[in-house]
């Protein structure tokens, strides 16, 4: 199908993009990599009056070291995230999760910030961002502000960004030396996750000192498996301890049933995949 007509704007700075978004009003759409937006435009599931393309804004690209955090520009591609040495050293979980996104073609065009702003609960980057304590820096007509991942994702395909705001960069606190793994379950290769688990742990002298576990597609937003995290702290990094803690993975979740899985099956997957992700992270 052919998309409905729209005005096209390609700003070269963030300030220009924010101004264009404010002037275009609520019917405008932001395009980052376009991997999620373009298909719905072609199907006319979205019909914006104005399309604002961020592809020419150089300041939105790249990864940099900022002391206790790694900062990722919103227009940095998935491919760049996977292969960046700073992310490999300080946010291994993010690199491993991003490597599972779709296929190489999508990873070369899709963007880190675009995926987070899209806020699809089945998307592979939301749970890792939550588990790592990411902070989203957004900019609007009133200036910049920072929103923690726990508040950024508010519902299906909905974030805490205001209508005139653009995601500029993402701050990831350094998890240097933490072991990590992302375990996902889908019906066919490259499909959306039915359920996935983002796990990262820090061990000391054979015991689990800290743990972070994020769940993908177990609610309308990504969720932390806090019961699992609490059960692991101070425990030996053994298969038995991980198995016992993983049984609590579905506590507090509210997955939505669909044609792929009902609630009980998703909760079963959460327990099984949590065990696999933690075991791989620890034995890694």
**Digit-coded pLDDT (tens) for 243-282:** 999 999 999 999 999 999 999 999 999 999 999 999 999 9
* 8 A C-beta contact, residue 219 and residue 206: no
Edge-to-edge strands, sheet with 28-31: 7-9, 50-53, 28-31
Q: Is the pLDDT of residue 76 over 80?
A: yes
- What pLDDT does residue 2 have? 86
Going by C-alpha positions, the residue among 36, 193, 50, 33 that lies closest to residue 119 is 36
- What pLDDT does residue 189 have? 76
In the chain the domains, ranked by start, together with CATH numbers, are: 7-53 (3.30.43.10), 60-173 (3.30.465.10), 179-283 (3.30.390.50)
Q: Whole-prediction pTM value?
A: 0.96
Cα–Cα dist 109/70, whole Å: 22
Cα–Cα dist 59/204, whole Å: 39
Residue given tokens 């742990």 in the structure block: 201
Cα–Cα dist 149/23, whole Å: 28
Going by C-alpha positions, the residue among 263, 29, 46, 1 that lies closest to residue 166 is 29
Q: What tokens appear for 39 in the block?
A: 């298909």
pLDDT in tens, 33-56: 999 999 999 989 899 999 999 999
Q: Is the pLDDT of residue 187 over 90?
A: no
Average pLDDT on 179-196 reads 91
């Amino acid at each position: 199908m052919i998309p409905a007509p729209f005005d096209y704007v390609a700003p070269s700075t963030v300030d220009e993009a924010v101004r264009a978004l404010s002037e275009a009003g609520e019917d405008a759409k932001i395009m980052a990599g376009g991997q999620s937006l373009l298909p719905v435009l072609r199907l006319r599931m979205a019909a914006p009056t104005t399309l604002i393309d961020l592809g020419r804004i150089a300041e939105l690209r790249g990864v940099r070291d900022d002391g206790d955090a790694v900062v990722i520009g919103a227009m940095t591609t998935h491919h760049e995230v996977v292969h960046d040495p700073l992310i490999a050293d300080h946010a291994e979980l993010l690199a491993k999760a991003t490597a599972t996104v779709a296929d190489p073609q999508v990873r070369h065009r899709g963007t880190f910030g675009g995926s987070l702003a899209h806020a699809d609960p089945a998307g592979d980057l939301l749970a890792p961002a939550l588990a790592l304590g990411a902070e989203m820096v957004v900019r609007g007509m009133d200036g910049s502000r920072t929103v923690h991942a726990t508040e950024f994702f508010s519902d299906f395909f909905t974030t805490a960004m205001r209508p005139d705001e653009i995601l500029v960069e993402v701050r990831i606190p350094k998890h240097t030396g933490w072991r990590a793994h992302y375990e996902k379950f889908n019906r066919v290769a490259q499909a959306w996750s039915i359920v996935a688990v983002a796990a990262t742990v820090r061990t000391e002298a054979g015991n689990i000192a800290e743990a972070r576990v994020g769940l993908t597609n177990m609610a309308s937003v990504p969720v932390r498996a806090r019961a699992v995290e609490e059960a692991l702290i101070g425990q030996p990094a053994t298969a038995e301890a991980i198995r016992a803690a993983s049984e609590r993975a579905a506590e507090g979740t509210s997955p939505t049933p669909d044609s792929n899985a009902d609630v009980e099956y998703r909760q079963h997957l959460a327990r099984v995949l949590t065990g696999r992700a933690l075991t791989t992270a620890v034995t890694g």
